[in-house]
Structure 1
């Protein structure tokens, strides 16, 4: 008689299912954005971060990482409302997620060999971006955008303390939110700008999660399968 599988195999199956669901919903969301289909995007977007947070939880990832992803979920939902108040609230939710990431990096990260050079590069990027956007931003958005940009840049820089994978995640998060800021400033946009925002954002959150799990020693066996299914996010 074959013994019943223990908790470890059950957890492994649950993790694989959650990651597969995240990949599937990611594909649905991105295809919907490319097709200009609003309804599937509205359904898919709120599912993404809870699925990724669930995967991290099953993998016994740190609570700060789970909290960061769920604050990202709050921002995702609020930005669906397309109102100024909701946009500011969403920015606040993402900012809370960045604080969680920063604490996580400080607790578990290590100093990088090229820390000063990387800090200088991010500093130049921050000052240049805010200076260029400032004249075109609505007056009531300038302060919040500048403050959020400072926090976001600090998170992107700090992510490298968990290794290259998380570092790329932080950089992509910065790129994604910069694309949003150019839209707020009414700059010319790429075709289907929401697609590029979501592509870079989802890649960022996945890489941050994967990098943190790897750096903290949490098992992440399904990562290879995920990379084969969706190489654009690896």
Structure 2
């Protein structure tokens, strides 16, 4: 496929992602479980198609497809599906961590104009957030989910922290991903929820994935502006 044609198809895929996002969120507002179940599985494949057509990093495509696996599995309201979905998202976070390690120095310098060492400021904040959240959630989580949720939370927090090394866009994406999954955890712990909790979970999650894509793609394409990025 020619670069121009691939770019047009990439824009179509991104536009379709935007349309399906709106449909999914409207279904959640309207309380249409069927509409949500039909729209949700389309979201990450469309975003992954956009990345692939733009010549984005293969690991970014894989991370999004692991997100798709988690999305589908979490549609089933059983513990086994929840654990499998959490595992799929965890695999996606590992992909993101590898990507961030590859591009962190370039991304931080290019977007923020500061030495990499100065990007360490979120460490304490994310560390405090992890310890505080797990300490509060632990007594209310089902016993069989406590250790898996704690392990997943460490990996998720590491991903969110490392995302800050790529700059503001990816950093915001990582923070929103952390917020989205924290909202899921409070539901599992049966804490009081906002009205339409699934709406806030999906809105923050979809914004997170899109911002992570933008952050990674922006940095990756600065390293290879005239060629497809296939690392």
TM-score normalised per structure 1: 0.89
The change in CA–CA distance for 1:164 and 1:113 in structure 2 (over 3 A counts) is farther
In the alignment, does 2:90 pair up with 1:86? no
In the alignment, does 2:150 pair up with 1:146? yes
In the alignment, does 2:114 pair up with 1:119? no
Q: Which residue of 1 aligns with 2:220?
A: 216
Q: Which residue of 2 aligns with 1:158?
A: 162
In the alignment, does 2:46 pair up with 1:51? yes
Q: List 4+ stretches of structure 1 deviating above 6 A.
A: none
Alignment RMSD: 1.5
Task: Measure the CA separation in 2 of the matches of 1:114 and 1:47.
Answer: 39
Task: Measure the CA separation in 1 of the matches of 2:82 and 2:127.
Answer: 25
Task: Measure the CA separation in 1 of the matches of 2:3 and 2:221.
Answer: 16
SS in 2 for 1:81: coil
Task: Measure the CA separation in 2 of the matches of 1:114 and 1:24.
Answer: 39
Question: Which of 131, 134, 141 is the matching residue for 1:137?
Answer: 141
Q: Which residue of 1 aligns with 2:62?
A: 67
SS in 1 for 2:50: helix
Question: Which of 5, 9, 19 is the matching residue for 1:10?
Answer: 5
Structure 1 residue 9: deviation in Å?
2.0
Structure 1 residue 113: deviation in Å?
4.8
Counterpart mapping for 1:19-38 below 5 A = 19-38=14-33
Q: Which residue of 1 aligns with 2:72?
A: 77
Comparing 108-117 with 171-180, greater Cα deviation is found at: 108-117
Deviations 1:141-182 (A, max 9, x none): 110010000000000000112111011000000000000000
In the alignment, does 2:170 pair up with 1:175? no
Q: Which residue of 2 aligns with 1:224?
A: none
Structure 1 unaligned segments of length 5 or more: list them.
1-5, 221-234
Task: Measure the CA separation in 1 of the matches of 2:118 and 2:153.
Answer: 22
For these two proteins, the number of residue pairs brought into alignment is: 215
Structure 1 residue 45: deviation in Å?
0.2
TM-score normalised per structure 2: 0.90
Deviations 1:176-233 (A, max 9, x none): 000000000000000000000000000000000011000111799xxxxxxxxxxxxx
Structure 2 unaligned segments of length 5 or more: list them.
109-115, 226-231
Task: Measure the CA separation in 2 of the matches of 1:115 and 1:46.
Answer: 35
Task: Measure the CA separation in 2 of the matches of 1:130 and 1:9.
Answer: 48
Counterpart mapping for 1:95-106 below 5 A = 95-106=90-101
Question: Which of 185, 192, 200 is the matching residue for 2:189?
Answer: 185
Task: Measure the CA separation in 2 of the matches of 1:44 and 1:102.
Answer: 28
Comparing 73-82 with 110-119, greater Cα deviation is found at: 110-119
